[in-house]
């Protein structure tokens, strides 16, 4: 039964099977260039940013806590959020580097 369905051709004569898959192929290509590729690029930039963190960098966590890195371990970072107040944060919780940001006047 499946063979008969696959072998059926559209009414009106011979149809090119490639032409019937062309719209689907175009959708896949559009999804790749406009959704998948930019997401992969952002993930790579985030990974490079987190690997490049160093002691003394000013950062923001995903929870909105501003701090200065005092210690870096394999999966965690110790942030100083106020004088003599330190917290331990997962590396994946760091989202921004504030050392480049210029203060607004």
CB 96 within 8 A of CB 82: no
Question: Residue 20's pLDDT is what?
Answer: 82
Residues 29 and 59 in one domain: no
Question: Residue 68's pLDDT is what?
Answer: 93
Residues 58 and 92 in one domain: yes
Spatial neighbors of 31 by CB under 8 A, at least 6 apart, are: none
Residues 60 and 93 in one domain: yes
Other Cβ atoms within 10 Å of 53 Cβ, number: 15
Tens-of-pLDDT digits for all 105 residues of the chain?
545 544 555 555 456 777 888 888 899 889 888 888 899 999 999 889 888 889 999 999 988 899 999 999 989 999 999 999 999 999 999 987 665 555 555
Question: Residue 11's pLDDT is what?
Answer: 55
Residues 63 and 44 in one domain: no
Residues 72 and 43 in one domain: no
Question: Domain containing 83 — which CATH number?
Answer: 2.30.30.100
- In which order are the strands placed within the sheet that holds 85-90? 85-90, 76-82, 66-72, 58-61, 94-97
Domain count, the chain: 2
What beta strand segments (E) does the chain contain? 58-61, 66-72, 76-82, 85-90, 94-97
Question: Residue 96's pLDDT is what?
Answer: 76
Q: How far is 73 from 99, CA to CA, in rounded Å?
A: 20
Question: Residue 2's pLDDT is what?
Answer: 46
Residues 46 and 68 in one domain: no
Residues 47 and 63 in one domain: no
Q: Which domain holds residue 47?
A: 20-51
Question: Residue 40's pLDDT is what?
Answer: 92
Residues 66 and 37 in one domain: no
């Amino acid at each position: 039964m499946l063979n008969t369905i696959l072998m059926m051709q559209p009414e009106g004569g011979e149809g090119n099977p490639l032409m019937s898959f062309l719209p689907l192929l175009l959708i896949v290509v559009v999804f790749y260039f406009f959704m998948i590729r930019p997401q992969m690029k952002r993930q790579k930039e985030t990974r490079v940013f987190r690997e490049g963190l160093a002691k003394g960098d000013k950062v923001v966590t995903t929870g909105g806590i501003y701090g200065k890195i005092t210690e870096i371990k394999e999966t965690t970072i110790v942030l100083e959020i106020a004088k003599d107040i330190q917290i331990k944060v997962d590396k994946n919780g760091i989202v921004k580097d504030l050392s480049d940001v210029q203060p607004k006047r």
